Amino acid sequence: MQGIICGAHNFKVGDKVVVTLPGAVLPGNFAITARKTYGHKSAGMIASTRELGIGEDHGGILVLSTLGLDPELGSDALELLGLYDEAAEVNVTPDRGYAFSIRGIAREYAHATGTSFNDFVLEYGARAPKANSEGIPVRLEDSAPIHENPATIRFVMRRVNGVDATAPVPTWMASRLRLAGVRSISLPVDISNYVMLETGQPLHFYDADKVQGEIVVRRAVAGEKLTTLDGVERDLHPEDIVITDDSGVIGLAGVMGGASTEVTAETKNILIEAARFDEVSIARTARRHKLISEASKRFERGVDPQIQQAAAQRAVELLTQLAGGTADAGVTDAALPYHPVVIDLPSGYTAGRIGVDYSQEQIVACLSEIGCDVEKTGNGYSVTVPSWRTDLLAKEDLTEEIARIDGYDKIPSSLPVAPAGRGYTPSSRCAAVLWTHLPRPV
């Protein structure tokens, strides 16, 4: 039997809490020892979420029932809270936007190890209902596209009614977010972030009862302002892409939402936005407003234009399962025609560039592995690039991928042969003659 003195007031008899006994070391190298408190010996400490390193709340101790947990007494709290989990840090190059997600990293792991890859995002998409007339009306406009690229090529919206925004965040979700460097805030926010990390598609949630009328996605008008979720009023630039309703601007597209439609603890109905915005526009907006967000990092590198319905479906399912909501029948999918990139790869081009005589089977196998559709033509191959590989634009890119997938170790190493010389030039011959006739020092 252990006696522990605690000054917190947010728990009662029968609550189950996390106890750290003498010898335990909490984050920040905080060693727990038995010490005298209020005239009594306290053999340990009852911990808060901040002391455990899993949140910022330090207003009281962590009561496990608030996380939806009811463990057996004596259970291992580290296992219960997912604190044994580990994460690998991966440095992603700027051109590999698809790798900013579990989906992309899993795909690359499969390439590196020969493991089969199951694209779970396609499964989400297969469960998504088709767009219909019951969804919220959305209009895409762009009077001044940058480099002739439209501001938005796809904008999907779904609605979930009757959610409990105060429902606890599951420990598995909070643990995975923490390992990814994302702080757990609330169930709706955490679901939005979790789906982004999982699929690579940033989402935005609106309080549906605060949205008025038709949604229009357009460029900002000079003089317009928006107070973003961080409480800052921002002067908008004509290049900024904004989300508007009948009340005005309600979001800075791809960067941060507006405070007027923020999801709070009182929110009951949620609108889900999954869109595909122009990379250059988002990059400029994020830097112009000094507002680099997890969403903007992904949009400026290129988001798969074919996964918006899948990501929205995943969010709908999590909100219904964890927040007790009900999926609305309405589905909005405002989109411009999608034209995949098709590249001609001449026969012999890859061998000439890399120095390896790849067979037709090797070329087709390597390109198929990264998701390309390959068709043999009279003078080479016609390669249709998958939607998530926005970095593949030319035959040089395909050649690099063939070399990478087949293995850099298979590229032979050989020193170049120096060209044959032509002897001395007239000026160098003259200099040599003069050198032989110059007096030498004694």
Mean pLDDT of 21-47: 80
Question: Rounded to an integer, what distance in angstroms lies between the CA atom of residue 295 and that of residue 241?
Answer: 14
pTM of the full structure:
0.84
| pLDDT above 70 as % of the chain | 98
pLDDT at 433: 83
Query: What pLDDT is stored for residue 1 in this prediction?
Result: 66
Residue spans per domain, the chain: 19-81, 97-335, 342-410
Phi, psi of 215 (to 5 degrees): -90, 130
The CA distance from 343 to 365, in Å, is 16
pLDDT at 26: 82
Apex 429 CA angle, 428 and 430, nearest 5: 90
pLDDT of residue 110: 94
| Tens of pLDDT, residues 282-334 | 999 999 999 999 999 999 999 999 999 999 999 999 999 999 999 999 999 99
Q: What band does 161 get if pLDDT is binned at 50, 70 and 90?
A: very high
Same fold, 97-335 and 342-410: no
Q: Is pLDDT of 61 > 90?
A: no
CB-based contacts of 186: which residues, under 8 Å, 6+ apart? 165, 166, 169, 263, 265
**Does 442 have pLDDT greater than 70?**
no
Mean pLDDT, rounded, for 23-27: 83
Residue 220 pLDDT? 96
pLDDT bracket for residue 135 (50, 70, 90): very high
Q: What is the pLDDT of residues 233-275, one digit of tens each?
A: 999 999 999 999 999 999 999 999 999 999 999 999 999 999 9
* Domain 342-410 architecture: 2-Layer Sandwich (3.30)
pLDDT of 57 above 80: no
Whether the CB-CB separation of 326 and 124 falls below 8 Å is answered with: no
How far is it, in rounded angstroms, from Cα 24 to Cα 269?
A: 43
Tell whether the model's pLDDT for residue 54 goes beyond 70: yes
| pLDDT confidence bin for 418, thresholds 50/70/90 | confident
In contact, 142 and 296? CB cutoff 8 Å = no
Averaged confidence pLDDT in the chain: 91
What CATH number labels 97-335?
A: 3.50.40.10
Residue labelled with tokens 């000439």: 352
User: pLDDT band for position 398 (50/70/90)?
Assistant: very high
The 8-class DSSP code of residue 167 comes to: S
Tell me how far CA of residue 37 lies from CA of 23, 40, 187, in angstroms: 18, 5, 37
Q: Tokens for 67, please give them.
A: 């996380």
Mean pLDDT, residues 99-103: 95
| Predicted pLDDT of residue 413 | 86
- If one counts every other C-beta atom within 10 angstroms of the C-beta of residue 92, the result is 16
pLDDT of 33? 83
Query: Could you read off the pLDDT of 66-82 as tens digits, one per residue?
Result: 888 888 888 888 888 87
Q: Show Cβ contacts of residue 241 under 8 Å, excluding neighbours closer than 6 positions.
A: 151, 152, 217, 218, 219, 220, 252, 253, 254, 277, 278, 281, 282, 285
Which tokens hold the place of 385?
């690039």
Distance of CA 333 to the CA centre of its chain: 21
Determine the distance from the C-alpha atom of residue 48 to the mean position of all C-alpha atoms in its chain, rounded to a whole number.
29
258 bridge partner residues: 228
* C-alpha span between 184 and 162 (Å, rounded): 22
7: helix, strand or coil: coil
Given a cut of 80, whether residue 84 has pLDDT beyond it is no
Instruction: With beta carbons less than 8 A apart as the criterion, state whether 210 and 264 touch.
Output: no
Can you give the pLDDT at residue 15?
Answer: 86
